[in-house]
Amino acid sequence: MKSFVLHPQLAKDTALIGRTSDCLLLLMKDARYPWLILVPEQEGLREMHELSEERLSRVSQTIKRLSLGLQTLTGAPKMNIAALGNMVPQLHIHIIARREEDASWPGPVWGVGAAEAYTDDELRVLVAALQEALLD
Amino acid sequence: MKSFVLHPQLAKDTALIGRTSDCLLLLMKDARYPWLILVPEQEGLREMHELSEERLSRVSQTIKRLSLGLQTLTGAPKMNIAALGNMVPQLHIHIIARREEDASWPGPVWGVGAAEAYTDDELRVLVAALQEALLD
C-alpha cells in the first residue's frame, strides 16, 4: 500500500491536532471560525463514496463525535459538515462551528474573504483544548 | 412520535424522487446541477450528530450509494456532499454532481446566482431516470 501523504495545500492551511480513527484531525488556521478538517489516511481517496462500508461507518461516527464535541466546546448554534474537494482533491471533511454573527453567515464559509491568522499563543492554546476535548 | 413534515422551503425548491432508508429523496429544481437532497424523516433533527449511531450508519451508506449512483449516471468528475442548514434548519444532506464547466465551479453552489428551472418534460424524464437508478 502506498504511504499516505497529506496534500500540501492542507498542510499549509492547517495545524495538526492529532490522529483519530485512522484519520488526521486538523485545525484550519482561520480565526474567523472554529473549523476542523478530518482526513482519512488512505492514499488516493477523492470521494466519500470511495470509503469502504466499514470505514465509512467509522468515519461517520467520528464526524458525529467531533461535531458534537466542537459544538459543545464552542457553544455554536449550528454545525456545517461537508466534503467538497473541488480545489484540493484529497478527500477531507470540513466540520465547522457557525454563528449568526460570523464572517459569512448564513452563506457557506468557502471562498468568502481572507483567512484571519491566529497568533502563535492563540493557536497553541486552541490546539491543546481541542486535543483534550476531541481526541480519544 | 411527532409526525414528520418536510420544511416548506425544501418542498418549494424540490421535486420528490421517492423514499429510501427512511429518508425522503428530493431533486433540487435547479437545472444547472444534478442535485439531490436527502432528508431523514425524523421530526426535529437539525444536525448530523443528532442521528443515532445506527441511523447515522444507515444514512451514511445511503449517501454513499446515492453519490456513487449519481456520479455514474451523470459522469460528473466530482461529487459534493454537505449538511449545512444555516437557512433551512431541518436536517437535509446535499449530494451534488459537479463539473469544471458548471455555474459556480470551483466554488460551492450555495448562494451563487439564481436557480434555472427545468421544463416540465425535463423534470419528468429526470425524476424517472433517478427513480430507476437510485431507489432500492
Architecture of domain A8-134: 2-Layer Sandwich (3.30)
Residue A42 reports pLDDT greater than 70:
yes
Q: A101-124: buried (b, 16+ CB within 10 Å) or exposed (e) per residue?
A: ebbbbebbbbeeeeeeebeeeeee
* Residues counted in chain B: 136
Report phi then psi at B16, rounded to 5.
-75, 125
pLDDT beyond 90 at B107: yes
C-alpha cell at A60: 461517520
* Res A78 pLDDT > 80: yes
Residue B60, pLDDT > 90, answer yes
A88 touches chain B (CB under 8 A): no
Average pLDDT over residues B98-126: 97
Q: What is the pLDDT of residue B68?
A: 98
Kindly list the domain boundaries of chain B, sorted by start residue: 8-134
Q: What is the pLDDT of residue A1?
A: 59
**How far is B38 from chain A, CA to nearest CA, in Å?**
14
Neighboring chain A residues of B51 at a CB cutoff of 8 Å:
64
The residue of chain B with its CA nearest to that of A66 is B49
Question: Which ipTM score applies to this complex?
Answer: 0.96
Q: Given CB atoms, is B112 within the 8 Å cutoff of chain A?
A: no
The answer to whether residue A75 neighbours chain B at the CB level (below 8 Å) is: no
Contact B60 A60 (CB under 8 A): yes
pLDDT, tens digit, 9 for 90 and up, residues B72-95? 999 999 999 999 999 999 999 999
Q: Do B49 and A79 touch (CB under 8 A)?
A: yes
- Give the H/E segment covering residue A16: strand A14-20
pLDDT of residue A136: 78
Q: What is the pLDDT of residues A105-122, one digit of tens each?
A: 999 999 999 999 999 999
How far is Cα B79 from Cα A86, in angstroms, rounded to an integer? 8
